[in-house]
Amino acid sequence: MSRRDEIVEAAQAVFAEGGASAITVRSVAARAGIGASTLRHYFPTQRDLHDAIFSAAFDASLDDLRISDSSVPARERLAECIQQFITPVDAPGNALERWVESLATMITSRASEEMRTAWSAFARQAHTRVRSWLDVLAAEGALLPGSTDRQARMLLALVDGLALAMMVPESRPTSEQVRETLDDAIAAIVR
C-alpha cells in the first residue's frame, strides 16, 4: 500500500469514528503515524484530502453495476445506479439517521470548516459519479438533449429530497413509491 493510500485509510478511520469535523491535519497525520508536513506533501489542501477520502469511499461503496450493459434498458441501468444513493429507512447502522444528522449539523452555524469542506467533497464526488453514469448513456445516444451536469444535479436533488421524505414517518414513501419517483425523473432525461 502506498503512503498516500495509508493516509486516505487513516482519514477514513478518523471520519468513521468522529465524522467530518474530526478530519483535521493533526488527527489524520497522527492516525497515519506521520507528520503534518508529510500529510500536506500528499494533500496540499483540506479539499484534496476530503476529495480523496470520499473518492475512495465512493469507489468502495458505489458500483457502476450494469451501466455499460447496453442489453439492459438505459432507464433501468441508471435507476439501479442512482438507487445506491437512497438509503432505506431500515438500513443497518441507522445510515439514514447519520446522513440527516450530518446535514443538519452542516447547515447550522455550528458547522465547522472541516464539516463544510467534507460535505462539499461528498457533493463533488456524488456529482462526478452520477455524471460518469450519464456520460456512458450519452455515448450510447440514450440521453435526451441537455447538459449532463444539469441532469446530474437534478437527479441528486431528487435523491436528497427522497432522503428527507424518508425521515418523516407519517409520509414516508414506500420502496415502490421511491422507485416510481426515480423512474419519473429518469424518464425526463433518458430516451
pLDDT of residue 16: 87
Question: In the numeric block, which cell numbers belong to residue 148?
Answer: 449532463
The DSSP secondary-structure symbol of 108 reads S
Which residues lie below 8 Å from residue 61, measured CB to CB, with a gap of 6+?
84
CA geometry: angle at 175 spanning 189 and 54, to 5°?
65
Q: Please give the grid coordinates belonging to residue 90.
A: 431500515
Match domain 3-58 to its CATH number in 1.10.10.60, 3.40.50.720, 2.115.10.20, 3.40.630.30: 1.10.10.60
Nearest to 156 by CA among 15, 58, 24: 58
Query: Is residue 179 within 8 Å of residue 92, measured between CB atoms?
Result: no
User: 190 - beta bridge partners?
Assistant: 143
- With 0-12 / 13-18 / 19 or more C-beta atoms within 10 angstroms meaning exposed / middle / buried, residue 16 is exposed
Residues 40/25, Cβ–Cβ less than 8 Å:
yes
- How far, rounded to the nearest angstrom, does the alpha carbon of residue 101 sit from its chain's CA centroid? 15
Q: Where are the domains of the chain?
A: 3-58, 63-187
Cell numbers describing residue 101: 444528522
CATH number of 63-187: 1.10.357
Q: Measured between alpha carbons, how far is 153 from 130 in angstroms, rounded to an integer?
A: 9
Q: What is the distance between the alpha carbons of residues 81 and 72, in angstroms, rounded to a whole number? A: 13
> pLDDT tens, position by position, for the chain (191 residues)?
999 999 999 999 998 898 877 889 999 999 999 999 999 999 999 889 988 988 888 888 889 999 999 999 999 999 999 999 887 766 655 566 666 666 666 677 677 777 788 888 889 999 999 999 999 999 999 999 999 999 999 999 999 999 888 888 888 899 899 999 999 999 999 99
Q: What pLDDT, on a 0 to 100 scale, did the predictor assign at position 22?
A: 87
Provide the pLDDT for residue 149: 97
- Give the whole-angstrom CA distance, residue 109 versus residue 99: 18
Give, in degrees to the nearest 5, the angle at Cα 120 between 117 and 122.
Answer: 110
Joined together, the cell numbers standing for residue 108 give 447550522
